[in-house]
Structure 1
């Protein structure tokens, strides 16, 4: 099926988890995908797995130069793009009393600054009636232990999305947010939970989700594809909670 033939997408954090799952769906539908990530080995592995319709850019997303590099590649290789999925992010579980200035700055640089300047740099290349999607989290409005700074970074990008949905209206560019609940992706191993404690941690989290389990990357990827494709052509400025109902508890 080539319903996205000749379409071009950029996915930050596209080398694993939700980002890679979405990249696979886009490529399968005929789109060209540019994967952006911090680790060269992970980016190269993702591009190799995705095949000849994928390209990679390695760089620090908190550095505006990385977004200049992405925009330059899009411009010279494709002349423009249709979908921008700002998906990369970090989260370290820390109580507010334990958060250092460096940790605070790192979270806002990676989760917030990177998204703002990523959209700023790529917007001039977005084709009319394109789509921007930002990955937030249900943590922006549901309180979890150790998530204060992370929640703040995500609340900020939700405010960006509302502004951009109006700023880009003359060009018909839609801007939406996807807020996952807990998802079984590699980020779980980066939360500071010891391997020996992970089964108990996951069981406790799953017990707070009405569907009784963590989300799967493919489920989030299908939601992301929906929000970027013409199937959601009249959806703009929304925050879709893809959380198994966890926000209800």
Structure 2
């Protein structure tokens, strides 16, 4: 018997990186899993890796029609939800003076608006005493040059989650967030990086992080699933998974 047998889980943005790590652990624990993504290559790779144990669905987190269709698919495939992980997100780096309206709308549409309406549409399917975990960011408690818009989207997401935690208390649904720092994922959270840019981004991240290394997908996954299933007396909280970055811990680490 797996650790999550009998549980129904939905992972938004689960076809690569941290979301895929969570989906893989849920499948390994015998949960019934549905995960979403938008990139066709990632969708096919996820199907090859997880099907038929998981349902892999194409859905654009910024498209309300896709979100409505997703709700119908979840109802058909799972019947309901015990655990919802809202992980889809995009980022772009630019100083304030260079941010375009297009980039601003893109990040807010996916990270904030998309997350809000995904939860709104799926909320009737979430079982009483279920749980929701958002992926926010260490930028909620730190200041990073070039990440003004991204930081704003994640701060909005955290605020939404905390209000939602209050509203869902009567149903016993817990709502929490995991805030990653520099995590070793294929894209490093920034699409379109060359291999040289990725290596430089890792170098900068290692230097900035008090533990002097990147986190792993597995370390984020453990935090997400802890909040999702084990932290039964915790709601409205954000856990930093960042090697001490957000707390500004000293170099003695």
Fold match by TM threshold 0.5: yes
Q: Structure 2: which 5+ runs fail to align?
A: 249-253
1:243 equivalent in structure 2 = 242
Deviations 1:132-172 (A, max 9, x none): 01100011221111100000000001010111001111110
SS at match of 2:208: coil
Deviations 1:196-246 (A, max 9, x none): 2433331221012121101111110111111111x1111111000000111
Conserved 8 A contact 1:92-1:192: no
So what's the TM-score if we normalise by structure 1?
A: 0.95
Deviations 1:84-139 (A, max 9, x none): 11101011111111111111000000110110000000000000100001100011
1:218 aligns with 2:210: no
Q: Could you tell me how far apart the structure 2 residues matched to 1:88 and 1:32 are? A: 20
Q: Compare 180-189 and 54-63 and name the one that shifted more.
A: 180-189
Q: How far is 1:187 from its partner?
A: 2.6
How many correspondences in the alignment? 248
1:169 aligns with 2:158: no
Conserved 8 A contact 1:35-1:43: no
SS at match of 1:35: strand
Q: Could you tell me how far apart the structure 2 residues matched to 1:24 and 1:154 are? A: 25
2:38 equivalent in structure 1 = 38
Q: How does 1:6-21 map to 2 (within 5 A)?
A: 6-21=6-21
Q: Give the alignment's Cα RMSD to 1 decimal.
A: 1.4
SS at match of 2:19: helix
Q: Compare 233-242 and 71-80 and name the one that shifted more.
A: 71-80
